[in-house]
Structure 1
């Protein structure tokens, strides 16, 4: 593929998607080189340039180096002089830039200005490079050192034409041609007749004819520094990209002392901030202007200062990583660049760092500025993916380029706002155009989310504590389920169970979030009721229970009781609120239970052991037959006179004592001799008054002396 270039010592890129790559390699100063392909600058070697100020470099769409220049010599990608690439009329202490020739892929213009050191005698000139020649390594063509204006200062910059195809080369002349000059660059070449605007600036081709020009990204404002205009100043020029005319100028700053004159200038990527650096004094500073403020000059804020050695701020240049880098003119010389890490942030939040990038070699003043047409080029228009709209909601359609100044919009409904609010399904489109640039279109389809949900719920009523089973059903993808259980509790799973412990009626609702982030609701209402449970209780009269004496059992339950079920030893004996029972068999426990049921069918049971055989007799577990009056005799307490025989055995099973009733007791002797301390076993035989039923009970007692 053939490439042809014209030199301007300043870069212009044709396509927005590759513009940053074309500025990926910087060559400047005394052999300094940087590569930004990793995001941060990395030093590279091989730079053949030795330049105080003037420099420009350009790469291809993939970020591969093509060539670079100091305005006098052009070097190819191998750091060798490009054929016919010497003898350009620029100067190492002036300005240069590189711009592509519109409609001629691979051709570039190098535009250079002469320096005040030799009276700017050559004015502004341009040369052409064709990268098709020399096997794709490039050659400066016969279009070389073509003069545009013989009476010119060092300023030079470029702005994309309003038609988004052509370019304006912008500079300022000197006496007798003291005009703001804009040269139209098109596919047929550079029109040698400029659009001239008289801004009232009168200059001789001397020290006053130097400085920097920088356009904002929109190309509507051009900042111009004049470091030696008396005390030094910064002007802000209004520029018409359609006509090339300067339509007005305002002063941003005029220095009040000889030191501190403004030189380097650069805008942030958005154009909302402008940075300027000082020259001509020790410990120079860098300042920020807020371009969005009503009174821009009043926002002048110092954000950094050069403190390492004596010297001044050089040129200021934005990089592909959107950070702004600063070169220095220091004595002794330094081998590093400064950086503004966050140029969009106000004040010192912008993050100025004096020593940020080590170069390995010294560099003075210059950095390679480049022409960036990205802001106005027809970028891909993107309304985003198709949308499924939630029912009864709307969405604001906003394309990816809604904030571009000068853009016009036409929506499918005829509206011309940057955004469109829609609430109905359908296909919508927008046409987008920036000034006279090509129109681009994007289309989006809006549908309505039809997600539906339902439920499957088990029993919805029961006695508290009542557990309900919940199942959510949907044929669509659900990202979140929301069960509202009517008591302040919510569950966020599709299937769940919940236990109501407090009686009451609870409205249950089911909602869900669809894959389109829509809230979906089950229209079928659910009511869950947890019935109250009665509390069973009863009384016994008289107490304690004794054999052969009638006892009255009376219900004392609470909770709207409608049914009773009395059981004695698990046998149903009554279904009335009260019944009478007489215990006859007192050799087994007497268990009484009451189950009550309320009007909701909920039941409760109270069950007690009303009588135990042990309640008929008490047998101590120790006695002390030591001659005092405390516990000298071991004998049971027989409440009903049921003991018929009472026998005590030693550990060998020998009878040591025996009696016929509880009135008899063992005094701790055997045949009149005191029994030894120890544990003795006993057996008591009990019988009813009729001696029909008998029972033996067993135990042991400790004799203590």
Structure 2
């Protein structure tokens, strides 16, 4: 089934649905790379900065999902039926005939387990299709590349299109939540740190999902804090709200909102206090959930936008804005301040231009991994009270236990914000036990007890004139020097008395220092940098025998003969221990070298540049004196180059011919060391910026070169690659400066 036909069927079904039921109307841890719609793609590169991606090969009318090992490494995307590698732009090995459907509103979800290299891909069939909810298992190597191991494992045979992920309360596991068809049952599957538990928690609550198959359509989401669940039922024109138990996976406390014609997309604000609903009829509606009762929620209803545009998925992104899929549109809409009610939420219908690609009804889901807990460790003065604060959402904690010392009764507290008085200077180990989610976590840190600062500028001193004395009084919060400076250090370069006053919250201290003398440093004189011809030498004189003179390699003679190109260093030391140094660079010159190369032929319309690499005086056949000469016509060219060490001459005749780029690529090779076809090597002529890439079926790059004469010997990571079909790509530039890339396949036979 082609994308165009599928998309047309999808739109037709929605239009028919709208026509039949219109009379019943009563009045963001996930991917930074998104692939969706008609080969559309965007990249979130920090804040609200969005870059357009042009490498998508996927067209999908609705559901899609993205897996990325990290934002800038291996990335994969799917519509629930096929899986593509964004790196190679091809379908991965075994990545076809999956049991999902691109006509399902939430057709696919990737999840990488916390403590293993297992990646799950969950899929849903369209409507209440027979494939139901399935999962696929990938293995992930050290570079982030994935191999599909097992496909189409049934999880729930009779399922709607709805599925989403939510944090488990323990912040290590996840819940996969879906809804059974022809039932009122939610199914919550726990994904542990290394594997999926196939035995669900089942909650019978809310309405029965049955009747018109479009009641299987409509998204489900769980709030970022994992406590609320919302879903849209398209045919019924309803939104259902629930509480979600992210410890045990249960769903409860239903609230039904009716009259939402053609409800489709659903999303929570970052705080989880506001829920947004999009409709195929072109509306986005907002409800305030801060007070959990039917009348308050229904009365808070606000229509954010109403337009003649089929609206699809809503998705909270990593920038804390909600993006809106607009069917058959060159733009994504965006709710810019989703934590705000009413007009303050700011809806921008043309927020993201897709650079000529089109959005459809789907966007990839983004799920969020919660950050853990920590506690703020004080640094206090001896005798003062140390106050401790837990960093994190304490509303999700059942209880806490602090230990500040050795006595488990006297040196402990069960308060969320306790205090304690330590009786001596030092660093003290503090333990915090967090009881939540039927588990206990342990945090350890150290509290510091300090006193007033200890100012110490050291003994009185003298130093040399080429030095700068840096005075450092020690550690403190505030500094005050004799010159009024409040910097942590003070630089001095003259005799005198200097002082500093240090202070912190525990007190202050004071110290002085006298700089007695500043001795003149010796003067080191060497000649300016000099050039001599190779074979000659230069004698350097250190002068003044009353000072210690040290050349490089610890040579202490007064005279030093320099005959090798390089830097020569001399240091002098006087009776006060003052040191000065200087250096001198000797450059060796030679008779200049010039080579215009052999007589040569170049393409008509192109230039040849002769480049003289030796320094000296240049004289070309036309009297010009530049070090380079640009050839634009056929003929004989010659040059004379001279310097103080001699001169040379060279010439070259240049011919012109007509050229066109040639690229021939073999379709098979046999790397069996028989001397015949052992290397895969394209034949290349008249191109520039050549770059060859070879990928395996997984989309993993296994060979690349920019050398025209280097081919692939059929080995990868020091081992023979398996007999298989491989994908090649060649990037190049022709002599006109036009960029090209070519793709193809090559078969490795063994």
Give TM-score, length-normalised by structure 2. 0.52
Q: Is residue 418 of structure 2 the alignment partner of residue 420 of structure 1? A: yes
Question: How many angstroms apart in 1 are the aligned matches of 2:34 and 2:400?
Answer: 38
Following superposition, the deviation at residue 238 of structure 1 comes to 2.2
Contact 1:101/1:185 (<8 A) preserved: no
Contact 1:101/1:187 (<8 A) preserved: no
1:61-460 → structure 2 map (5 Å cutoff): 61=70, 63-77=72-86, 78-94=88-104, 95-100=106-111, 102=113, 105-116=116-127, 119-132=128-141, 137-141=145-149, 143-175=150-182, 177-186=183-192, 189-204=195-210, 206-229=213-236, 232-251=237-256, 253-255=257-259, 259=261, 261-277=262-278, 279-282=279-282, 284-291=283-290, 297-298=297-298, 300-302=300-302, 304-305=304-305, 307=307, 310-329=308-327, 333-360=328-355, 361-375=357-371, 379=372, 381-384=374-377, 386-389=378-381, 394=385, 396-403=387-394, 405-406=396-397, 408-412=399-403, 413-422=411-420, 424=422, 427=428, 428-436=430-438, 439-447=441-449, 449-450=451-452
Question: How many angstroms apart in 2 are the aligned matches of 1:88 and 1:125?
Answer: 9
Following superposition, the deviation at residue 477 of structure 1 comes to 4.6
Following superposition, the deviation at residue 65 of structure 1 comes to 4.1
Q: Residues 516 and 72 of structure 1: is their aligned pair in 2 closer, same or farther, counting only changes over 3 Å?
A: farther
Question: How many angstroms apart in 1 are the aligned matches of 2:70 and 2:280?
Answer: 39
63-72 or 408-417: bigger deviation: 408-417
Question: How many angstroms apart in 1 are the aligned matches of 2:298 and 2:246?
Answer: 27
Question: How many angstroms apart in 2 are the aligned matches of 1:355 and 1:243?
Answer: 41
Counterpart residue number, 2:698: none
Task: Structure 2 unaligned segments of length 5 or more: list them.
Answer: 1-27, 404-410, 456-472, 487-499, 511-750
Following superposition, the deviation at residue 218 of structure 1 comes to 2.5
Q: Which has the larger radius of gyration?
A: 1
Q: Is residue 41 of structure 2 the alignment partner of residue 30 of structure 1? A: no
Following superposition, the deviation at residue 518 of structure 1 comes to 6.4
Question: How many angstroms apart in 1 are the aligned matches of 2:114 and 2:323?
Answer: 32
1:688-699 → structure 2 map (5 Å cutoff): none
Counterpart residue number, 2:558: none
Following superposition, the deviation at residue 432 of structure 1 comes to 3.2
Secondary structure (helix, strand or coil) at the match of 1:23 reads coil
Contact 1:513/1:519 (<8 A) preserved: no
| 1:50-90 deviation per Cα after TM superposition (whole angstroms, max 9, x unaligned) | 11110000211354342111111101132210111011111
Question: How many angstroms apart in 2 are the aligned matches of 1:475 and 1:110?
Answer: 58
Contact 1:402/1:418 (<8 A) preserved: no
Counterpart residue number, 2:646: none
Task: Structure 1 unaligned segments of length 5 or more: list them.
Answer: 1-18, 454-473, 482-491, 495-511, 523-705
| Aligned-residue RMSD, C-alpha | 3.5
Question: How many angstroms apart in 2 are the aligned matches of 1:36 and 1:493?
Answer: 46
Contact 1:173/1:180 (<8 A) preserved: yes
Q: Residues 422 and 192 of structure 1: is their aligned pair in 2 closer, same or farther, counting only changes over 3 Å?
A: closer
Question: How many angstroms apart in 2 are the aligned matches of 1:452 and 1:130?
Answer: 59
Contact 1:98/1:370 (<8 A) preserved: no
Question: How many angstroms apart in 1 are the aligned matches of 2:292 and 2:267?
Answer: 17
| 1:347-399 deviation per Cα after TM superposition (whole angstroms, max 9, x unaligned) | 33233222111112111121110332225xxx362424x5134876x453213
Question: How many angstroms apart in 2 are the aligned matches of 1:447 and 1:24?
Answer: 44
Secondary structure (helix, strand or coil) at the match of 1:297 reads helix
Question: How many angstroms apart in 2 are the aligned matches of 1:89 and 1:366?
Answer: 18
Following superposition, the deviation at residue 147 of structure 1 comes to 1.4
Secondary structure (helix, strand or coil) at the match of 2:70 reads coil
219-228 or 163-172: bigger deviation: 163-172
Question: How many angstroms apart in 2 are the aligned matches of 1:185 and 1:402?
Answer: 23
Contact 1:102/1:165 (<8 A) preserved: no
Q: Residues 493 and 67 of structure 1: is their aligned pair in 2 closer, same or farther, counting only changes over 3 Å?
A: closer
Contact 2:287/2:297 (<8 A) preserved: no
Contact 2:453/2:509 (<8 A) preserved: no
Q: Residues 105 and 440 of structure 1: is their aligned pair in 2 closer, same or farther, counting only changes over 3 Å?
A: same
Give TM-score, length-normalised by structure 1. 0.55
Following superposition, the deviation at residue 319 of structure 1 comes to 1.4
| 1:435-486 deviation per Cα after TM superposition (whole angstroms, max 9, x unaligned) | 2466141323242553699xxxxxxxxxxxxxxxxxxxx99857489xxxxx
Counterpart residue number, 1:612: none
Q: Residues 391 and 44 of structure 1: is their aligned pair in 2 closer, same or farther, counting only changes over 3 Å?
A: same
Following superposition, the deviation at residue 236 of structure 1 comes to 1.8
| 1:680-700 deviation per Cα after TM superposition (whole angstroms, max 9, x unaligned) | xxxxxxxxxxxxxxxxxxxxx
Q: Residues 190 and 38 of structure 1: is their aligned pair in 2 closer, same or farther, counting only changes over 3 Å?
A: closer
Question: How many angstroms apart in 2 are the aligned matches of 1:126 and 1:371?
Answer: 18
Q: Residues 433 and 313 of structure 1: is their aligned pair in 2 closer, same or farther, counting only changes over 3 Å?
A: farther
Question: How many angstroms apart in 2 are the aligned matches of 1:388 and 1:288?
Answer: 47
Following superposition, the deviation at residue 215 of structure 1 comes to 0.9
Q: Residues 198 and 476 of structure 1: is their aligned pair in 2 closer, same or farther, counting only changes over 3 Å?
A: closer
Question: How many angstroms apart in 1 are the aligned matches of 2:454 and 2:141?
Answer: 64
Following superposition, the deviation at residue 128 of structure 1 comes to 1.6
Counterpart residue number, 1:547: none
Q: Residues 103 and 424 of structure 1: is their aligned pair in 2 closer, same or farther, counting only changes over 3 Å?
A: closer
Contact 2:302/2:342 (<8 A) preserved: yes
| 1:248-291 deviation per Cα after TM superposition (whole angstroms, max 9, x unaligned) | 3223x221xx74x43222223332332222x1325x23414243
Aligned residues: 433
415-424 or 186-195: bigger deviation: 186-195
Following superposition, the deviation at residue 155 of structure 1 comes to 0.7
Secondary structure (helix, strand or coil) at the match of 1:270 reads coil
Contact 1:85/1:139 (<8 A) preserved: no
Question: How many angstroms apart in 2 are the aligned matches of 1:296 and 1:321?
Answer: 29
Question: How many angstroms apart in 2 are the aligned matches of 1:368 and 1:157?
Answer: 11
